[in-house]
C-alpha cells in the first residue's frame, strides 16, 4: 500500500515537471522563431527588449536579504 502511494506521488511530480518543461520548450521555440523573424527584418534593435521581456516571465528576480553585518 505504501509503495503504491509513493509511486503515485512520484508519478504526479514527474507529470507536473514534464508538463512545465514542455510548456517552457514551446515558449522558447516560439521566442526563437520570433527572434529569427525580427533578425530577417529591419527591427534588429528590438531584440534585446523581447529577450528581456521573455526572460522576466521565466526567471523571477528574487531578493536576497542583506544581513546587518554586511552593511
Whether residue 62 lies inside any domain: the answer is no
Give the containing element (helix H, strand E) for 7. Answer: helix 2-40
Domain of 8?
2-51
Q: Is the pLDDT of residue 19 over 60?
A: yes
Whether residue 67 lies inside any domain: the answer is no
Mean of the per-residue pLDDT values of the chain: 68
Whether residue 40 lies inside any domain: the answer is yes
Q: Which grid coordinates belong to 63? A: 531578493
DSSP assignment letter at 6:
H
What is the model's pLDDT at position 10? Answer: 75
What is the model's pLDDT at position 48? Answer: 64
pTM of the model: 0.42
Whether residue 44 lies inside any domain: the answer is yes
Whether residue 68 lies inside any domain: the answer is no
- Number of domain units in the chain: 1
Q: What percent of the chain has pLDDT over 70?
A: 46
What is the model's pLDDT at position 1? Answer: 60
Amino acid at each position: 500500500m505504501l509503495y503504491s502511494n509513493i509511486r503515485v506521488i512520484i508519478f504526479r511530480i514527474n507529470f507536473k515537471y514534464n508538463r512545465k518543461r514542455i510548456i517552457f520548450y514551446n515558449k522558447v521555440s516560439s521566442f526563437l522563431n520570433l527572434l529569427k523573424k525580427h533578425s530577417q527584418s529591419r527591427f534588429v534593435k528590438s531584440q534585446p527588449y523581447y529577450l528581456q521581456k521573455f526572460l522576466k516571465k521565466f526567471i523571477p528576480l528574487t531578493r536576497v536579504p542583506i544581513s546587518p553585518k554586511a552593511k
